[in-house]
């Protein structure tokens, strides 16, 4: 049985805060199974957007894990805001979580798969 998105996001927020970072839910989506997008901000202004990894990234032995892929990185917030607006129009049930990870790399907080 897969953990609800609401519970998974709550756990992510706790992991970020316990690592000395900051996190906030920018958009709350479907409680049970909304897709999660993570907007990671660095302390020097860099931004990275992570979204759900393609289905081919999942291991059939562990189908309940959540994997993410890097959708883009840079320092222009408008580009990422526009991408998230397009995603919201496509699927109104998405979650957007913004984090500033602190001293822990984002890859230690979420499972990132290379495309």
User: What are the pLDDT tens digits along the chain (115 aa)?
Assistant: 577 899 999 999 999 999 889 999 999 988 887 889 999 998 888 899 999 887 655 455 554 578 898 999 998 889 999 999 999 888 888 999 999 988 888 888 888 887 6
CB 67 within 8 Å of CB 52:
yes
Q: What is the pLDDT of residue 113?
A: 80
Task: Tell me if residue 17 falls in helix, strand or coil.
Answer: helix
H/E stretch holding 36 reads strand 36-41
How far is it, in rounded angstroms, from Cα 49 to Cα 99? Answer: 10
CB 73 within 8 Å of CB 49:
yes
How far is it, in rounded angstroms, from Cα 63 to Cα 58? Answer: 6
28-53 burial, b at 16+ Cβ within 10 Å, e below that, comes to ebeeeebbbbbbbbeeeeebbbbbeb
pLDDT tens readout for residues 95-106: 999 999 888 888
pTM: 0.85
């Amino acid at each position: 049985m897969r953990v609800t998105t609401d519970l998974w996001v709550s756990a992510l927020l706790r992991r970020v805060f316990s690592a000395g970072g900051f996190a906030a839910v920018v958009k709350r989506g479907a409680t049970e199974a909304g897709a999660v997008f993570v907007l990671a901000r660095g302390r020097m202004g860099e931004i990275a957007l992570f979204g759900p990894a393609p289905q081919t990234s999942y291991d059939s032995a562990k189908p309940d894990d959540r994997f993410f892929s890097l959708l883009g990185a840079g320092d222009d917030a408008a580009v990422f805001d526009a991408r998230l607006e397009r995603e919201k129009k496509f699927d109104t049930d998405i979650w957007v979580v913004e984090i500033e990870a602190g001293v822990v790399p984002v890859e230690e907080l979420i499972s990132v798969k290379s495309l």
